[in-house]
């Protein structure tokens, strides 16, 4: 269906791709794997016409040779891309998003609504077609993107990290849908960092590394360890190396903490020095909401927060910082780093008041930023480049460095490894290990169960805003966590 041969792409100063090939057959799920920066995004952009390859590439879609095609022309040949960040029109309705540009010059709104319902029914999604897309959940947006692609009669579907921001349950539903589409004969190119998913789904695997083609392998020839080795070019024997640290006294304690507007309901838990407390739960279970209460972003409506056993009032972020809390938020781009500012200024933001007497002492700022970014292994030309130009993994390290600069005692990490590559992920895990060794307490929110299971000393499972249970590392298993997260009747 889709065939790319001898694809190269050179940007000024960078060879993003060289000698890459990819054959995608009808009724096949083909995984495209590689670390961030391996060239997956560039390859997708070339396949979808957003970027033109260097001369010499040979691209065929359904047997037709394609040269200098626009995104529109490629779409008309039946190739559709579902991007990691849904590219939908937030203010427009579901129906309009599904069928944009599919009508003639004049639009029939009634016809559109009917066509939209039919498309959604085909993938088993139930959505009000008149709702503006900004009101939808992330999982619903992903479904909408897929329905839109199918509405365009896509024969080739490129899914770019479709489950990166979905809960396990939503992700499972999406994977079921992918299998259904494969059975219908759609050719699917699947890009993900979640190896479990492609090991379950994919028929073949193509691996890129540093812009080069490493190889294409059938399912029978690979397993998890082999794939990681191919992607990393080195053996990562243990993905989640838990550092065992003797636990100290309790630092943070919550008693029946509630925040009614966001549904945080009666949560009591504690975390000790040197401990990594995992927070598990489906999307909407209240994990981020709980973190926001702790960090003073949405102050508790009732209940108590204790630091070192003493009740404290946390009404603002300033209070939380003063109590030694730090929060690295989920959405890197929106809340994690200021993309336009250089690394150094990003890191010094929360401690400006400490650095500044009457005016800002820039040498101190620079020294601190240099120390922290070296310690966390931020890969950048210097601490003066804009944070927005870094890769996802490096942006996350900058976000982390910023909060470490506040010298916190409790660090809350919200999806710290979402959508970043295997190498950067391992580094973030290594840093977490070092931090707990120094006596920091970490609350880790993650939708990736293996990560929680590998790293956490205990896992607190939330369900619909309340605490469903706490599992020790010994008790915790995939099944045990899911059981608590899903169970409907128990307390």
Which positions from 73 to 112 touch another protein by CB under 8 A, shown as an x/- string? --x-----x-x---xxxxxx---x---xx-xxxxx-x---
Instruction: Say how many residues make up the chain.
Output: 491
50 binds another protein (CB under 8 A): yes
Minimum CB distance to another protein, residue 88 (Å): 6
**Residue 449, CA distances (Å) to 278, 471, 478 in order:** 10, 13, 7
Minimum CB distance to another protein, residue 74 (Å): 9
Contact partners, residue 285, CB within 8 Å, separation at least 6: 167, 462, 463, 464, 465, 485
Nearer to another protein, 82 or 175 (CB): 82
262 binds another protein (CB under 8 A): yes
134 binds another protein (CB under 8 A): yes
Query: What backbone torsions phi and psi does residue 396 show, to the nearest 5 degrees?
Result: -65, -35
Minimum CB distance to another protein, residue 446 (Å): 24
135 binds another protein (CB under 8 A): yes
For residues 466 and 289, the answer to whether their CB atoms sit within 8 Å is: no
Minimum CB distance to another protein, residue 138 (Å): 13
Name the segment binding another protein (CB under 8 A); options: 67-75, 205-213, 346-354, 404-412: 67-75
Minimum CB distance to another protein, residue 140 (Å): 13
Place of tokens 């016409």: 49
Torsion sign across C-alpha atoms 99, 158, 13, 388: positive
Contact partners, residue 16, CB within 8 Å, separation at least 6: 9, 10, 39, 42, 211
Distance CA 300, CA 280 (A): 21
Minimum CB distance to another protein, residue 129 (Å): 13
Minimum CB distance to another protein, residue 89 (Å): 4
Residue closest to 398 by CA, chosen among 334, 330, 348: 348
Minimum CB distance to another protein, residue 86 (Å): 8
Contact partners, residue 371, CB within 8 Å, separation at least 6: none
178 membership: H or E segment, kind and range: helix 168-183
With CB under 8 A as the contact rule, the residue among 13, 63, 246, 261 that binds another protein is: 261
Distance CA 485, CA 470 (A): 11
Site for another protein in 206-245 (CB under 8 A): none
Nearer to another protein, 73 or 367 (CB): 73
**# residues near another protein by CB under 8 A:** 29
246 binds another protein (CB under 8 A): no
Nearer to another protein, 11 or 89 (CB): 89
Tokens of 92: 């427009």
Distance CA 95, CA 88 (A): 11
For residues 387 and 341, the answer to whether their CB atoms sit within 8 Å is: yes
Nearer to another protein, 132 or 350 (CB): 132
**Residue 264, CA distances (Å) to 260, 290, 299 in order:** 6, 6, 11
Name the segment binding another protein (CB under 8 A); options: 118-126, 130-138, 210-218, 430-438: 130-138
72 binds another protein (CB under 8 A): yes
With CB under 8 A as the contact rule, the residue among 21, 23, 117, 132 that binds another protein is: 132
Torsion sign across C-alpha atoms 89, 90, 93, 95: positive
Nearer to another protein, 158 or 343 (CB): 158
Binding-site ranges for another protein (CB under 8 A): 48, 50, 70-72, 75, 81, 83, 87-92, 96, 100-101, 103-107, 109, 130, 132, 134-135, 261-262
């Amino acid at each position: 269906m889709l065939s790319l041969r001898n694809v190269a792409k050179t940007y000024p100063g960078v060879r993003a791709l060289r000698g890459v090939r990819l054959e995608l057959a009808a009724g096949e799920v083909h995984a495209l794997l590689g670390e961030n920066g391996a060239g997956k995004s560039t390859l997708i952009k070339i396949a979808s016409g957003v970027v033109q390859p260097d001369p010499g590439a040979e691209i065929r879609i359904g047997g037709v040779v394609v040269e200098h095609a626009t995104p529109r022309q490629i779409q008309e040949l039946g190739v559709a891309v579902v991007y990691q960040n849904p590219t939908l029109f937030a203010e427009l309705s579901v129906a309009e998003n599904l069928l944009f540009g599919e009508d003639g010059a004049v639009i029939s709104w009634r016809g559109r609504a009917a066509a939209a319902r039919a498309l959604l029914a085909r993938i088993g999604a139930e959505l009000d077609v008149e709702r503006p897309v900004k009101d939808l959940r992330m999982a619903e947006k992903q479904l909408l993107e897929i329905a839109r692609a199918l509405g365009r009669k896509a024969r080739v579907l490129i899914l770019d990290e479709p489950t990166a921001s979905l809960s396990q349950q939503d992700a499972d539903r999406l994977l079921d849908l992918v299998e259904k589409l494969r059975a219908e004969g759609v050719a699917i190119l699947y890009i993900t960092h979640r190896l479990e998913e492609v090991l379950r789904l994919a028929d073949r695997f193509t691996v890129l590394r540093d812009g080069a083609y490493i190889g294409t392998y059938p399912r029978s020839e690979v397993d998890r360890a082999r794939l990681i080795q191919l992607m990393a070019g080195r053996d990562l024997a243990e993905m989640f190396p838990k550092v065992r640290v003797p636990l100290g006294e309790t630092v943070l304690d919550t008693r029946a903490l509630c925040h009614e507007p966001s549904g945080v309901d009666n949560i009591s838990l504690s975390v000790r020095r040197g401990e990594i407390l995992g927070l598990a739960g489906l999307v909407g279970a209240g994990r981020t909401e709980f973190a926001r209460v702790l960090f003073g972003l949405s102050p508790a409506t009732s209940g108590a927060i204790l630091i070192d056993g003493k009740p404290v009032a946390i009404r603002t972020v300033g209070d939380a910082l003063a109590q030694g809390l730090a929060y690295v938020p989920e959405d890197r781009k929106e809340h994690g780093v200021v993309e336009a500012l250089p690394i150094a200024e990003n890191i010094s933001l929360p401690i400006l008041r400490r650095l500044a007497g009457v005016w800002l002492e820039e040498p101190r700022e620079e020294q601190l930023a240099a120390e922290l970014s070296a310690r966390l292994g931020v890969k950048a030309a210097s601490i003066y480049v804009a944070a927005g130009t870094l890769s996802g993994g490096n942006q996350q390290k900058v976000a982390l460095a910023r909060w470490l600069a506040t010298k916190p005692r409790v660090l809350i990490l919200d999806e710290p490894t979402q959508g970043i590559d295997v190498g950067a992920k391992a580094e973030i895990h290594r840093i977490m290990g070092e931090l707990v060794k120094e006596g920091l307490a970490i609350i880790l929110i993650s939708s990736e169960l293996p990560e929680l299971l590998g790293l956490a000393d205990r896992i607190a499972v939330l369900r619909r805003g309340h605490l469903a249970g706490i599992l020790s590392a010994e008790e915790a298993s995939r099944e045990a966590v899911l059981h608590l997260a899903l169970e409907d009747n128990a307390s």
